[in-house]
Amino acid sequence: MNLWLRLIWALLRAWRLAPIEPGAVIERHMRVWPGDLDINGHMNNGRYLTIIDLMLVEYFVRSGFARVMLKAGWRPMSGGALISYRKGLQPGQRYRLRFALVAANEAWNFMRFEFLREDGALCAAGYMKGAAVGRQGLVPNVESYGRLGRSFETKPLPLAVQSWLSAEQAVVLESGQMASPTAPSQRD
């Protein structure tokens, strides 16, 4: 997380806002700052994921999960993201970020996010998966939700998430199949 001031602001804001239930949609109005830009003059593709991390922090705090993790000695962990970029966000442009927990399985929680221009045009959308990690590895959602005082039921995975997880398995299975780079020739 390289946006320390935004992180502090997200934490302060989250502590002041009303608590939310898991599954609630939260929304932030934001602006593209100069540090968000890439060499093409629009918001950098990696910055989208960093901004999503800020929303995740707010979600954890407002849902009570951050308190549970701190007490249990767990750490939040992102297991990956699927994102599609549709339209660029320009310098100084205001946008809206919508974020919600939409599905869960035994260990992973899947969050949907959408970056929207003020006119409602979709700029980027996707999913992020996250889990709590303890000393024994991934914490089962039954346990983490139980500590929140909630019962846990798996939520059906959207088709896009099912396809993403299938592709993710294929990527892991194909690990090590790339040809080794050849050493560049040396000249005298």
Please give the domain boundaries of the chain with CATH numbers for all domains: 27-163 (3.10.129.10)
Bridge partners (DSSP) listed for residue 75: 133
pTM score = 0.88
List the pLDDT tens digit at each of the 188 positions of the chain: 457 888 899 999 999 999 999 999 999 999 999 999 999 999 999 999 999 999 999 999 999 999 999 999 999 999 999 999 999 999 999 999 999 999 999 999 999 999 999 999 999 999 999 999 999 999 999 999 999 999 998 889 999 999 999 999 999 999 888 877 776 656 65
Distance CA 143, CA 167 (A): 28
Alpha-helix residue ranges (DSSP H) falling in 64-184: 65-72, 141-147, 159-173
Count of residues making up the chain:
188
Q: Determine the Cα–Cα distance for residues 128 and 80; give it in Å rounded to an integer.
A: 6
**3-state SS assignment for residue 28:** strand
- pLDDT at residue 179 in the model: 76
pLDDT confidence of residue 1: 43
